[in-house]
Chain A
Amino acid sequence: MSSANEKFQFVKIDEFASEHISAPHYSYWKSVFKQFFKSKLAIAMLFMAVIIFAIAMIQPLFSNYNPLASPDISDFSIRFNRPNLTYWFGTDHWGNSLFDAVWSGARTSITIALLATSINMTVGITVGAIWGYNKKLDKYLLEIYNVIANVPFLLVALMLIYVLGPGFWQLIFVLCMTEWLSIAYFIRTQVMIIRDREYNLVSRTLGTSSTRMISRNILPFLTSVIVTLLSREIPSIISTEAFLSFLGVGLPPSITSLGKLISIYITYYGTYPYLFWIPVAVLASVSVSFYIVGQTFADASDPKTHR
Chain B
Amino acid sequence: MKKYILIRVLRSVLSILAVTSIAYLLIFEFVPRNRVFENDGMYAKISNRPDQLPLYVNSKFEELGYLIYKPQDELCRDVYGANTADYTMCQDTTSSLFKSAKATYEAKGFIFYTIEQTGYIYATKEIPVLERLLGFYSRMIVIDHPNVIQDEGNPNLERKIYIGQNWDKSSYALMCSGCEHKYLVYLDWSFPFVHQNVVSLYFGRSLPTFYGIPTFQVLTQDQGTNVLKPVTFPTGVVTDSGVMEYTCSYKSSLDSLETTKFNDNYANCSLNRNAPSMMGTSFIFGILALIFSYLISIPLGMYMASHKGKAIDKAGMAYIVFVIAVPALAYIYLFRYIGSTLFQLPESFPSLGPNNMLSYIMPTISLALPSVAGLLMWTRRYMVDQNTADYVKFARSKGLSEWQIYLKHILRNAIIPIAHGLPGAIIGAIGGAIITERIYAIPGMGKMLNDSIRVFNNNMVITLTFIFTSLAILSVLLGDLLITRIDPRIILDDKKKGKRKNVKR
Task: Flag if A158 contacts B327 (CB, 8 Å).
Answer: no
CA distance A249 to B449 in the complex (A): 12
Flag whether A155 is at the interface (Cβ < 8 A): yes
Known: A162-B27, A163-B26, A163-B30. A283 touches B327 (CB 8 A): yes
Which residue of chain A has its CB nearest to the CB of B23?
A: A159
Stretch from B291-299, B304-312, B318-326 at the A interface: B318-326
Which residues from B are CB-within-8-Å of A162? 27, 31, 453, 461
| Chain B residues positioned under 8 Å from A276 (CB to CB) | 333
| Chain A residues near B321 (CB-CB < 8 A) | 291-292, 295
B473 touches A150 (CB 8 A): yes
The reply to whether the CB of B18 lies closer than 8 angstroms to some CB of chain A is: yes
The answer for the CA separation of A152 and B26 in the assembled complex, in Å, is 18
Contact A247 B438 (CB under 8 A): yes
CB–CB B330/A249 < 8 A: no
Known: A155-B434, A155-B465, A247-B450. A147 touches B329 (CB 8 A): no
Interface residues of B: mostly helix, strand, loop or mixed? helix
Q: What B residues does A239 contact at CB under 8 A?
A: 327-329
Q: Which residues does chain A contribute within 8 Å of B468, judged by CB atoms?
A: 151-152, 155
Complex Cα–Cα for A162 and B453 (A)? 7
- Bitwise, A146-164 to B at CB < 8 A (1) or not (0) is 1100111111001110111
| A164 vs B31: C-alpha distance when bound (angstroms) | 7
- Asked if B502 lies at the interface with its beta carbon under 8 angstroms from chain A, I say yes
Does A67 sit within 8 A of B, measured CB to CB? no
> When the two chains form their complex, are residues B327 and A152 in contact, meaning their CB atoms are under 8 A apart?
no
* CB-based contact B472/A150 at 8 Å: yes
Asked if residues B329 and A155 are in contact (CB atoms below 8 Å), the reply is no
Does A287 contact B434, Cβ atoms closer than 8 Å? no
Q: How large is the interface on A (under 10, 10 to 19, 20 to 34, 35 or more residues)?
A: 35 or more
Complex interface residues of chain B between 18 and 42 (CB less than 8 A to chain A): 18-19, 23, 26-27, 30-32
Chain A neighbourhood of B431, CB < 8 A: 152-155
Interface of A, helix, strand, loop or mixed by DSSP:
helix
Q: Is A243 an interface residue (CB 8 A)?
A: yes
Question: B1-33, CB under 8 A of A: which get 1 and which 0?
Answer: 000000000010001001100010011001110
Cβ of B290 within 8 Å of any chain A Cβ, yes or no, is no
Minimum distance in angstroms from B322 CB to a CB of chain A: 8
Chain A CB within 8 A of B207 CB: no
A189 and B438 CA atoms in complex are apart in Å by 36
B476 on interface, CB distance cutoff 8 Å? yes
B328 near A243: Cβ-Cβ < 8 Å: yes
Residues of A within 8 A of B19 (CB): 147, 151
| B159 on interface, CB distance cutoff 8 Å | no
Say whether, besides A147-B15, A155-B434, A162-B27, A242 and B329 are in contact (CB < 8 Å): yes
A281–B454 CA distance with the chains assembled, in angstroms? 28
- Interface readout for A278-307 with B: 1 if CB under 8 Å, 0 if not? 001101100110011001000000000000
Considering only residues 472-505 of chain B, those with a C-beta below 8 Å from chain A are 472-473, 476, 502, 504
Near A by CB (< 8 A), chain B positions 452-468 give: 453-454, 461, 465, 468
Residues in B whose Cβ lies below 8 Å from that of A243: 327-329, 435
The docked-state distance in angstroms from the alpha carbon of A280 to that of B334 is 9
The answer to whether B330 and A280 have CB atoms under 8 Å apart is: yes
Query: Which residues of B lie under 8 Å from residue A153 when comparing CB positions?
Result: 431
Q: Is A189 touching B453 in the complex (CB atoms < 8 A)?
A: no
The answer to whether A284 and B327 have CB atoms under 8 Å apart is yes
If A235-B324, A243-B328 touch, whether A189 touches B430 (CB-CB below 8 Å) is: no
Contact across chains for B327 and A238 when beta carbons are under 8 A apart = yes
B472 — which chain A residues lie within 8 A by C-beta?
A: 150-152
Instruction: Find out whether the CB atom of B26 lies under 8 angstroms from the CB atom of A159.
Output: yes
Q: State which of A152, A164, A284 has its C-beta within 8 Å of the C-beta of B427.
A: A152
Closest A residue to B458 by CB, please name it. A162
Tell me the smallest distance from the CB of B427 to a CB of chain A, in Å: 5
Residues of A within 8 Å of B32, CB to CB, are 165
Q: Is the CB of B435 within 8 A of A291?
A: no
* B427 and A150 contact, CB distance less than 8 A: yes
Near B by CB (< 8 A), chain A positions 261-291 give 262, 276, 280-281, 283-284, 287-288, 291
Name the B residues within 8 Å of A291 (CB-CB). 321, 324-325
Given A147-B15, A291-B321, 18 other A-B residues pairs in contact with their CB atoms under 8 A: A151-B19, A151-B472, A152-B427, A154-B431, A158-B450, A159-B27, A162-B31, A163-B26, A164-B30, A235-B325, A242-B329, A262-B329, A262-B333, A280-B329, A280-B330, A283-B327, A284-B330, A292-B321
9 CB < 8 A contacts A-B: A150-B427, A150-B476, A152-B428, A155-B468, A158-B449, A235-B324, A248-B454, A280-B333, A291-B325
